[in-house]
Amino acid sequence: MKRVIKGPPPPSLSDYVTIFPEATWEDMSYDNTLGGSQVAHDCREQTISNQGGLCAYCERRISS
């Protein structure tokens, strides 16, 4: 398993959580009206970047 040193969360996630503190990942992922789906995309991109484009579990390349 790959060791990952995480950076700070994307600013869009911090903003979304401030506005919707009770939202779940599913709520955010499917929220097209309030920008949640973009926040989920930002989180995915940040994770891929933090992990050097590799899955932390199996260390295979993550497709964007």
Whether pTM exceeds 0.75: yes
Tokens at residue 39, please? 């926040």
Q: Using pLDDT thresholds of 50, 70 and 90, give the confidence band for residue 2.
A: confident
Q: Smallest Cα–Cα separation from 7: which of 50, 39, 41, 44? A: 50
Domain spans of the chain? 1-64
Task: Identify which has the larger pLDDT, 28 or 34.
Answer: 28
Summarize pLDDT for 15-31 with one digit per residue, the tens.
999 999 999 999 888 88
pLDDT of residue 64 exceeding 80: no
Instruction: With H, G, I as helix, E, B as strand and everything else as coil, classify residue 54.
Output: strand
Helix (H, G, I), strand (E, B) or coil at 19: helix
